[in-house]
Structure 1
Amino acid sequence: MRSLRTLAALAALASAALLAPPAQAATTVQASAATIYRGEGDQLLRIRATTKPGTVKITHDGEGYFSVWTLSPSGKEDDLLANQVGAYKGTAPFNTSTSNKTAAFSIKADGAWTLQVLPLTKARSWSITSRGIGDDVLRLSSTSRGLHRLKIRHSGDGYFSVWTLDANGRTHNLVANKVGAYNGAVSLPPGARYASIKANGAWSIVRR
């Protein structure tokens, strides 16, 4: 009789465990203009679908493969915001094409991560000399006019690119595109307001 009672108690515990709601994998914090998501491992974050360009500040402290994609309302992958093995820290723009409409962020991770979603207007100020490590987004105080020179350096060994975006946050011009170290001077296209940098090492951009 005692063994039957024990079995019944174990069955009740197992049933309660199966009926219990799953642990929350991501938390959301609203702070002024920013929305911050925190989680661990793979996650699909649904948001209110938007065509408005913005930026995402991203961190990951895992050791394995890490990526963040934007998804359209149909589930199509659009913008690859982060793509790295191991720890990651960077900022990337999204909805830079007029055809994009973001309805979710798809995260692949083996560690803890954060996503801070901000308006594009909150991007880091693009000073005369701007420096950074890894992916970033820069913002001019006004749209570029006339002839200006950009002196660009990159010391990483992976893919490096610099895209300019127009005042509406849409893709404008590709001004640097190289795998590995880069050292060059290019013109700043008229009509540029933002710069999107993809890098795996230290970089600098000097405007003249």
Structure 2
Amino acid sequence: MIKGGNGFVPTVPLRLAVRNGLDVAVLFLTETGRVRGDGDIVFHGAPIHPSGAVRLLGEESGTVWLEAGLTAIEDEIVRVLVVGSAEVGALRDVDELSVEAFAPDGTSVARYDVTDAGGETAMVLAELYRRAGGWKFRAVGQGYVNGLAGLARDHGVDVAEDAQAQAHVQAQAQAEAPVPVPFQPPAPAAASGPVPFHAPPAPSAPSAPPAAPGAVPFHAPAPAAAPIQPSAPAPVPVFGVPSAPAPAAVAPPFPPQPSGPDWAFGAVFEPYTKTGRDNDVITLNGLPPGPVVVDLSIRGDGYTGMWPLTRFNKEGDTLVNSTEENFRGRLLALVPGNGRLRLQLKAEGPWQLQVLPLAAATRLTEEELEFRGPDVLLHTGGTADLALRYRGDDNLIINLYELEGHDDPATLPRDENVVNEIGKRRETVPLPEGPVIVHLERADGPWRARLKHLEPHSRQSDGALSQVTDIGKAKGRLRRGTH
């Protein structure tokens, strides 16, 4: 399995092998992406989860063995992370670094060999996560140069360090050498059986996301005499919730992008807009089958999650999983062949959702884009390098959908995962000739992106790139179903 790959595993007691010579920990996460408390960390000092679902069995010839009883994992837990850290040096120094899952009969059901480890001293190697009533194994490979302490803090764990450990870390940082920072217990004078983890403090509220240039701001309903912001072309009542207070600054929606002669994949239709508040199931009938852009903005500071619902009314793959305040982002969804798209939304506060044609997504050019949150971008030119600077603290996952030779607009080709990291990053991703969908699947934080070394498209000279109808002139109207 390659980095970012995933697959179902049998819902049976699994044994997991982590190689070679690493310290191993397991984190139990709720849908917020955080542990509930000290009990949700399994490590050498607490080798059994309170539920009994995961046990740290010990080490044999450099391999650490875990046992995971998937049926015993509590319903509140949606992800189980397998974490490894190096006592000395960096993970690039670990020979044959891997994690493998075995069924009770000894059959290997999933394996991930880490081939790109660098100066990190800790890494989320893999995760087991719920999907469609079962469990899947994902090859993660997300490293941390600030060690196990940094990894733990990102998942809601308050790591206690005594003064000697802090001084050691500071000295090593000054020497510019990566040092693993182990989980260590506090050292009060009369402590007995100290626990090295503490319940996480209340997270500080992130700053409100910046407005996108040229976007139409959202405004809660207001009296007729309420002033309109000078930069807004027209007042747009968005949330439609009378009880919702008018915010001082609300994330604007993405402006609809006109389709151009350089994009021909997917049907064109009039955008559909839906507003509401808190959790909901949103149903859209009469959409053309195929990929669409779901533009979602929420005013609130709670958890945001969205999943497409299958024909069996089961959750599909996660579209968004975020704890960002005032979440906003563009998501990539696939309309089934029957033209009926159903989306389950978990949110706290008023929200607006728009469904747009794929052709309405933002084009990548040599001019810098600046935004925050997940997004769907289109590359239509020749070969180029995508230069991206990410300033978030959480996941950055980027997938490419290369559409050359893919003639079925009702489906998407297999995606290629090109970035799967955590924390602030500078990335340069080589892009093939367009048309290519660049999907920022996870990006909880601000980012900037532009093309470098852009070459002319090999087919521009012969006019082979077909044209599409302008969205503003689309004749078909979305048939509104039961909402």
TM-score bracket, shorter-length normalisation: 0.7 to 0.9
Counterpart position of 1:134? 373
More relative contact order in 1 or in 2 (CA 8 Å, sep 6+)? 1
Q: Pick from 261, 278, 283: which aligns with 1:46?
A: 283
User: Are residues 33 and 79 of structure 1, via their aligned partners in 2, closer, same or farther at CA, if it must alter by over 3 Å?
Assistant: farther
For each residue in 1:65-119, what CA deviation from the matched residue of structure 2 results, as whole angstroms up to 9, or x when unmatched? 22111112211222422222232011111129x9998630101122111110011
Report if the CA contact (8 A) 2:290-2:337 is conserved.
no
After superposition, residues 1-208 of structure 1 pair within 5 angstroms as: 33-48=270-285, 51-85=289-323, 86-95=325-334, 103-128=341-366, 129-140=368-379, 142=380, 145=382, 147-167=383-403, 168=409, 169-190=412-433, 192-197=435-440, 198-207=442-451, 208=453
Residue type at the aligned position of 1:196:
H
User: Are residues 79 and 158 of structure 1, via their aligned partners in 2, closer, same or farther at CA, if it must alter by over 3 Å?
Assistant: same
Report if the CA contact (8 A) 1:137-1:195 is conserved.
yes
For each residue in 1:109-153, what CA deviation from the matched residue of structure 2 results, as whole angstroms up to 9, or x when unmatched? 22111110011111112222333211111123x3x54x4222222
Report if the CA contact (8 A) 1:42-1:110 is conserved.
yes
Note the C-alpha offset of 1:186.
2.5
Alignment length (residue pairs): 176
Between the aligned partners of 2:315 and 2:330, the Cα distance in structure 1 is 18
Counterpart position of 1:4? none
Between the aligned partners of 1:170 and 1:94, the Cα distance in structure 2 is 13
Residue type at the aligned position of 2:277:
E
Residue type at the aligned position of 2:444:
N
Unaligned 5+ segments in structure 2 are 1-239, 242-255, 257-268, 404-408, 454-483
For each residue in 1:8-53, what CA deviation from the matched residue of structure 2 results, as whole angstroms up to 9, or x when unmatched? xxxxxxxxxxxxxxxxxx99xxx97111010011111122276411
Is the strand fraction higher in 1 or 2? Answer: 1
TM-score, normalised with respect to structure 2: 0.33
Report if the CA contact (8 A) 1:95-1:102 is conserved.
no
Between the aligned partners of 1:87 and 1:202, the Cα distance in structure 2 is 13
Report if the CA contact (8 A) 2:306-2:321 is conserved.
yes
Larger radius of gyration: 2
CA RMSD of aligned residues (A): 2.9
Unaligned 5+ segments in structure 1 are 1-25
Between the aligned partners of 1:205 and 1:135, the Cα distance in structure 2 is 13
Residue type at the aligned position of 1:162:
I
